[in-house]
């Protein structure tokens, strides 16, 4: 119960401010202005906004880019901004629990929403007219390349994403991340890009490549192995990342309690999201299977 209350203190501003060292949490100094983060974030948002307006003026509102796609893009954009620019990023450098929440937002919220939005069309329309043909040609060639087809195979994408998660949580690499800004950027980039490949493979792959059964299996497998990592972090009696432990006391936690809370975040909430996604895909699979006999009968009558 003590750990649960501590977790609530982290995510509830009024409670968090009661701890020493938290008085700066809502200040302007805790927002991230790193150009390596801010520049691609704002550039992509600006291009997508301009592109959506241009396309809808040309083709009509909701055409080319659906309202649902636009909503998914902006929800993904806001999720990335909350993880990488807001004070959560500052807090994640001081508390392992906040760092885990930050990673979860990138991998299981922003990445699937961005995959559902299919943003390249909007970004293309945001470019100057003379650059659009070249950009479109580039994206088409990439989407048809053997490398892209290989990387977006559900099993390959799941293995790459799982490898990134486990590798970066090994003590040697994770402690290095906390001491080196470049490694920290690389960690976030690899988490997000492999998660984007993972969700793209499950949600946007071509029909002949995608199988509902494979998607359900891959999601449950990912839930299982990330849950195991979360359990190891939660039940461990040793602190894995000493460099992350320096600020835990300022928030009323021991370093081990901070690690255990982070493990619980990976184990329970993240695991539930993977499970929910698998169940939704399974429900769609069952629904489409139930409609197939009607289609087959219609095709048979039509052929006669």
Closest CA to 193 of 116, 106, 266: 106
Quickly count: other Cβ atoms within 10 Å of residue 82's Cβ: 18
Rg (CA), the chain: 22
Q: How far is CA 200 from CA 54, 129, 226, in A?
A: 26, 28, 19
pLDDT of residue 210: 57
> Which pLDDT tens digit goes with each residue over 217-235?
999 999 999 999 999 999 9
Cβ atoms of 168 and 226 closer than 8 Å: no
Residues, the chain, total? 304
Measured CA to CA, the distance from residue 233 to residue 259 in angstroms comes to: 6
Element (H, E) at 27: none
Contact 36, 185 (CB under 8 A): yes
Tokens standing for 210? 């995608």
CA distances from 6 to 94, 98, 130, 249 (A): 15, 12, 55, 12
Q: 84, 223, 245: which is closest to 165 by C-alpha?
A: 223
Confidence (pLDDT) at 202: 92
Separation of alpha carbons 72 and 115, rounded Å:
9
Express each pLDDT in 152-173 by its tens digit: 999 999 999 999 999 999 999 9
Q: Which residues of 118-132 are buried (b: 16+ CB within 10 A; e: fewer)?
A: bbbbbbbbbbeeeee
Going by the DSSP 8-state scheme, the letter that residue 252 receives in this structure is T
Residue 208 DSSP SS3: coil
| CA atoms lying within 13 Å on the CB side of residue 275 | 11
**Helix or strand or coil: residue 12?**
coil
Supply the pLDDT for residue 95: 93
Q: How many CB atoms lie within 10 A of CB 99?
A: 25
**The tokens of 163 are what?**
């490898």
Distant-in-sequence, close-in-space partners of 213: CB < 8 Å, separation ≥ 6: 285
Q: How many CA atoms lie within 13 A of 211 on its CB side?
A: 7
Give residue 63's pLDDT. 92
Per-residue pLDDT, 259:
95
pTM of the model: 0.85
* Per-position pLDDT tens, the chain of length 304: 444 444 444 444 333 333 334 555 555 678 988 899 999 999 999 999 999 999 999 999 999 999 999 999 999 999 999 999 999 999 998 899 999 999 999 999 999 999 999 999 999 999 999 999 999 999 989 988 999 999 999 999 999 999 999 999 999 999 898 889 999 999 999 999 999 999 999 998 665 455 888 999 999 999 999 999 999 999 999 999 988 888 888 888 999 999 999 999 999 999 999 999 999 998 988 887 776 554 444 443 344 4
Query: What is the rounded distance in angstroms from the CA atom of residue 68 to the CA atom of residue 123?
Result: 16
């Amino acid at each position: 119960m003590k750990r649960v209350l501590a977790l609530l203190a982290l995510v509830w501003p009024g409670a968090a401010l009661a701890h020493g060292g938290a008085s700066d949490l809502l200040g302007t100094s805790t927002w991230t202005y790193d150009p390596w983060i801010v520049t691609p974030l704002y550039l992509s948002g600006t291009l997508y906004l301009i592109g959506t307006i241009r396309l809808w003026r040309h083709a009509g509102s909701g055409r080319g880019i659906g309202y649902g796609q636009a909503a998914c893009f902006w929800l993904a954009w806001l999720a990335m901004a909350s993880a990488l620019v807001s004070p959560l990023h500052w807090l994640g450098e001081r508390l392992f629990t906040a760092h885990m929440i930050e990673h979860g937002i990138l991998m299981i919220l922003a990445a699937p929403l961005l995959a559902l939005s299919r943003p390249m069309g909007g970004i293309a329309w945001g470019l100057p007219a003379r650059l659009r043909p070249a950009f479109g040609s580039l994206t088409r060639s990439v989407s048809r390349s053997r490398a892209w087809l290989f990387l977006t195979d559900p099993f390959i994408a799941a293995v790459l994403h799982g490898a990134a998660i486990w590798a970066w949580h090994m003590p040697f690499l994770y402690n290095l991340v906390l001491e080196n800004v470049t490694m920290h950027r690389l960690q976030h980039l690899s988490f997000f890009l492999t998660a984007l490949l993972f969700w793209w493979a499950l949600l946007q792959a071509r029909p002949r490549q995608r199988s509902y059964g494979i998607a359900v299996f891959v999601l449950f497998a990912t839930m299982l192995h990330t849950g195991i990592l979360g359990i190891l972090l939660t039940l461990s009696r040793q602190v894995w990342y000493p460099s992350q432990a320096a600020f835990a006391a300022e928030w009323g936690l021991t370093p081990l309690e901070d690690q255990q809370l982070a493990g619980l975040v990976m184990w329970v909430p993240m695991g539930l999201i993977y499970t929910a996604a698998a169940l939704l895909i399974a429900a769609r699979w069952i629904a489409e299977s139930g409609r197939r006999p009607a289609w087959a009968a219609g095709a048979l009558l039509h052929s006669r």
